[in-house]
Structure 1
Amino acid sequence: MTEQTYYTLKDGNKIPVIGFGTWQAENGDIAKQAVKSALESGYRHIDTAMIYGNETSVGEAIKESGIPRDELFVTTKLWNHDHSYDKAKQAINESLERLGLDYLDLYLIHWPNPIDYRDNWKEANAGSWKAMEEAVDEGKIKSIGVSNFLIHHLKALEETAVIQPVINQIYLNPSDQQHEIVDYCRNNGIILEAYSPLGTGDIFKLKELERIADTHNKTVAQVVLRWSLQKGFLPLPKSVTPSRIKENIELFDFELSEFDMGLIDALQGKAGSARNPDEVTF
């Protein structure tokens, strides 16, 4: 990837079309070196979250990279116990402090219906969102969005939101294509970020993907990530292995045919599916 390619969010800000995910990258040297490897490989979009516990290391890697801040796109997320206006305001400031940044490019509500707020999730989300909107006005955040939201969660948020969400980050890969929420987001100008874009390990056992990969002289991971890009999604592959980190961004020198895309589309349900956000126990 020699030149950054971007999507334009509906608030006018630009976001690189692939990001580096840091879930399960342990805080400390592991997370810091993974992010450094990603930046050296050409990623300019780094995705973390308060609950990942690695914001400090992500921030250190960004600082030590020497890459100008305005060339980077950094995302973090509001965790479940911090829903509501006051808690969200504090959580935003704490994430900025851990990351060592003056502003965030994107801030997301991580889950729509945490167990602690199950009886009043709509009000809790509305309060959190108001705090996020104020942080935009204060220059602490550039864009705001959500994660794991289904249609009814988005519609509830729309009732009170002044700024509409620009992103919905969801579990999205050939095994779970989440057609209903994908269609809703597309119809409303919300870009879909794909976390776990390679699904579970089972996706690498699917013979259909191996054959397509062999045809293009690419890996299964590259084929699945390319499928995600050609769908108009924004994949967030994660790894702590430098060679795989580099491999996962080498997606711009080949294209899948309509036949290839159809074969991959047919893999729905073959390697895991998303959690129901209304039933999570955290």
Structure 2
Amino acid sequence: MPSNLPESAAFRGVVAIELRDGALPERAALPAEAAGDVATLLGRDLAKLVPEAADCDLALIGAHFDPAEALRPGWPLHRRVLELLQRAPGQAQGARVVGFGADAQGDVPQPLQADAGLAGGGLRILPFVLRGPGLAAAGERLESMLFDTGMASADAALALQDGLGAQVEHVRYLSLHDLLAMMAMQYQNVGLHGLWSLLEAALLAPDGECVLDAPPEPLARYGDGEVRIALLDPPAWRQRNAPDEPDGDRLERAFTRFLARQRQYAAVFEVHGVPVQFVHCSDGQRGCLG
């Protein structure tokens, strides 16, 4: 591995498992030996697509996570994989393939534990990284290829299914940016375009700023590493969202829906590890958010 390679330089990817009927796997992580076997199969599959991948170290966490756990500021899940790889032996012995799984008693070590509160959903992911001499060429080509050609081989999918005790519909390999694009589409399909603009800023431009000022959506701002959401009292909300509505019952129902929308925003940001602060805003203008 070249000595001038920055510690953070890596290709970040995931093994995405679509579960049949959304049934969670029986085990939270692959046994240690199975994790090594799956990592080897993953490395073989990636090298078939991009030969330069064979020149890279590959590390796979054999525990499965909710996609949102991979899509948090600073990419903490993949940072964890890199830290484990950097501690693994054999750095002077050529490209390494390492899988991290449950211990001999079947317990999942702390660095591999998923958020128990995010156990639902039909898609689970196992994070992996590539790092080493072939990184530049391999990363660029995998970034452009995986979304369309990254289906796992049959033996790799079977090894995952057996190792996790899962009912698997599909297994595919994605870059972290592919996963980001999939999540963006999902949020947009359920009408959360505005929320996504803030979350995307938190993930891809954490030092920047993004303001959502599009009634009837919540008034919110991302900046300084957090999202600030304006707390509007009923008169300020009405002035901002429904100044010409005379029906009191309709106004009350609409305001209740607005409060629920704010709570939904806050819950999604929390899942993605973005701090949220509610700020009282008496005039309903964006200036109150700083």
TM-score under structure 2 length normalisation: 0.29
Structure having the higher Rg: 2
TM-score, length basis structure 1: 0.30
